Structure 1
């Protein structure tokens, strides 16, 4: 279950930006010959819904129905008691509650001429939800579609980038405190949780992991509004003690990956640069692995990201290096950066809008 405040504020995101996002999706649906696009959402996979409407699913599940023409409707397995705050915190006006999707989709299509229902990002739909949609619309073609909304989310707008920069600044400050020397793991986690929840993060996972030689790593993955960041830092065992050579080389590998980030390169290229830059030997049996993942894919852990996807100018990606040790230990370093014209840019840097 998510926690945190959801803000619908035209000072953060201009009032017409979200309707414009819906209009872009509707044009794609028209181009694909789709009459009605359905976007599935639950607490784990709600970024498309949030991007289009600002609605946050704290629990349970729903389907955003976007016709090729007309206003979207949200079909949900939630009580009508939630409709009030949903209307106040989103751009939606058509909200429909029920115990199952079959009846809700039946009500949606019963007065429409039969056509094509498109399941947006169909690979992420639960099989049961797909079955309910098919049962609700006999005579309709139900067609799997790709990540049409994800494609729109890959390059943040100016407003989204400003919010990510705000979140990055809060995370940088919190990490400075949370990676101070000689703190117990629980205290590190508490410092980061308190600071970032207080700054408005909606979803947050903080982890402290350990490798050999007393080296630990503090890793934070968090959602601010509807954007995601991941940052991880190594921590020496005690104040005044330098990191061992292998740990310093892991940090150098991250720097090499950042240096290889550029518009048009494939996501695999910075990861390969990190692995190629690592020249100092790891402890016996340890394995280094580097990845580049779009922030738009962090809600699903980056598990569906393609290493062959080219990095678009202005995209925001997580560059990460992880080391796994044979005794089960693990350390990681990671940065969330913008793909700038001249390379990787920190999100809270002044040059990010150049």
Structure 2
């Protein structure tokens, strides 16, 4: 549940970087001949919107309208009473509320000449919503834009890496607190969540079994995972040691999920063994044996992997 700290601090992510993110999307829209893109998000999957604006969709749903030649606007069914909070915690200046996305999209497009309207990752949208939005854009060509924002999230910036390292240290502490001997399952969950929430995590999910503790959390706009099981410690070290620039995920003896897909556990991307890891990417390496799991979040480097949650550098 998204009920933790929401931070917008230029000391963490400079204002110039927020503008660069939107600028990169605009450039891609122009290159693809798209006049306006719509990015949909809800409480389960809103990381693209968060990456571009720092907005936390903690309830309900929203749609970010991104014109190739102007500033983005948030379209939402949330009451205007939350607009002041949204403006304080995000980079957005224009927010529009209404009862239906069709009317909101139609109003946004009203003063524009019909062109191409792109739906970012349309395959993940609710089907009725695609029909509603398409009907609200007569004269427009509506087409999907697969992975338009995700491609920019694959390699975190230097500022994001700093935050990921801070978050990794916090999660390492949380899993240590949760693996103290003598704790019940509930006590393990409570200890882990307390530690992560105190460290400033926005979203936290903890799973505990007889032997394992697994923590997945959102820190600012990025996600990490850590899990510990004594019986799988050696397997996890071997799996992380196999990670490096140019390595295929199928050659890593563990499950690999990109941090950009962690909020949905990579369920929408499948598990192709042909994906090639690249330096600068952040992934989760997880060894799973039934209910037992051991995992670390790592930064892929040219020579190996920097473990963000294990606090050691492992070279291939």
TM over 0.5: yes
Task: Give SS of 1:338's match.
Answer: strand
Given candidates 258, 261, 264, the residue that maps to 2:240 is 258
Task: Give SS of 2:15's match.
Answer: coil
**CA displacement at 1:340 relative to structure 2:** 1.1
Q: Aligned runs of 1:98-177 on 2, under 5 Å?
A: 98-177=98-177
Task: Give SS of 2:212's match.
Answer: strand
The whole-number CA distance in structure 2 between the counterparts of 1:309 and 1:110 is: 42
The higher radius of gyration belongs to 1
Aligned length: 311
**CA displacement at 1:309 relative to structure 2:** 2.1
Given candidates 292, 313, 316, the residue that maps to 2:282 is 316
Deviations 1:303-345 (A, max 9, x none): 1235322212111000001112xxxxx1111110000121011
**CA displacement at 1:350 relative to structure 2:** 8.6
Task: Give SS of 2:192's match.
Answer: helix
Deviations 1:185-238 (A, max 9, x none): 11111111111111111111111124xxxxx11011111111111111015xxx
C-alpha contact (below 8 Å) 2:228/2:295 kept by paired residues: yes
Gaps of 5+ in 2: none
C-alpha contact (below 8 Å) 1:118/1:142 kept by paired residues: yes
The whole-number CA distance in structure 2 between the counterparts of 1:201 and 1:182 is: 26
Tell me the TM-score normalised to structure 2 length: 0.95
Q: Aligned runs of 1:178-189 on 2, under 5 Å?
A: 178-189=178-189
The whole-number CA distance in structure 2 between the counterparts of 1:196 and 1:12 is: 19
The whole-number CA distance in structure 2 between the counterparts of 1:309 and 1:48 is: 21
Task: Give SS of 1:163's match.
Answer: helix
**CA displacement at 1:251 relative to structure 2:** 2.7
User: Which residue of structure 2 lines up, in the alignment, with residue 4 of structure 1?
Assistant: 4
Q: Deviation above 6 Å: which 4+ runs of structure 1?
A: none
The whole-number CA distance in structure 2 between the counterparts of 1:309 and 1:66 is: 29
Given candidates 286, 289, 306, the residue that maps to 1:345 is 306
The whole-number CA distance in structure 1 between the counterparts of 2:248 and 2:160 is: 23
Q: Aligned runs of 1:1-354 on 2, under 5 Å?
A: 1-210=1-210, 216-234=211-229, 247=231, 250-270=232-252, 274=253, 290-305=254-269, 306-307=271-272, 308-324=274-290, 330-347=291-308
Tell me the TM-score normalised to structure 1 length: 0.85
**Two-structure CA RMSD over aligned residues (Å):** 1.5
The whole-number CA distance in structure 2 between the counterparts of 1:267 and 1:14 is: 33
Gaps of 5+ in 1: 211-215, 236-246, 275-289, 325-329
The whole-number CA distance in structure 1 between the counterparts of 2:284 and 2:114 is: 43
The whole-number CA distance in structure 2 between the counterparts of 1:176 and 1:78 is: 39
